[in-house]
């Protein structure tokens, strides 16, 4: 019989994609801001 994963594992599985998307979004905004500064 399979044991149910504990809540911390479930939370980690749910938050990993969100954290990844947030990091990608933040990096994208930072690059856009740097490009905007370089254009001036």
Range of the domain at 26: 7-40
> Is 2 a domain residue?
no
Q: Count the domains in the chain.
A: 1
> Is 37 a domain residue?
yes
Burial of 38: CB neighbours in 10 Å, binned 0-12, 13-18, 19+: exposed
> Is 1 a domain residue?
no
> Is 31 a domain residue?
yes
Tell me the per-residue pLDDT of 1-40, one tens digit each, with 9 for 90 and over.
Answer: 567 767 888 777 888 888 999 999 999 999 999 999 988 7
The whole model's pTM is what?
A: 0.54
> Is 24 a domain residue?
yes
Distance CA(35)–CA(40), nearest Å, equals 9
Is the Cα dihedral 10, 11, 12, 14 positive or negative? positive
């Amino acid at each position: 019989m399979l044991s149910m994963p504990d809540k911390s594992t479930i939370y980690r599985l749910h938050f990993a994609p969100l954290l990844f998307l947030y990091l990608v979004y933040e990096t994208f905004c930072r690059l856009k801001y740097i490009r905007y500064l370089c254009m001036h």
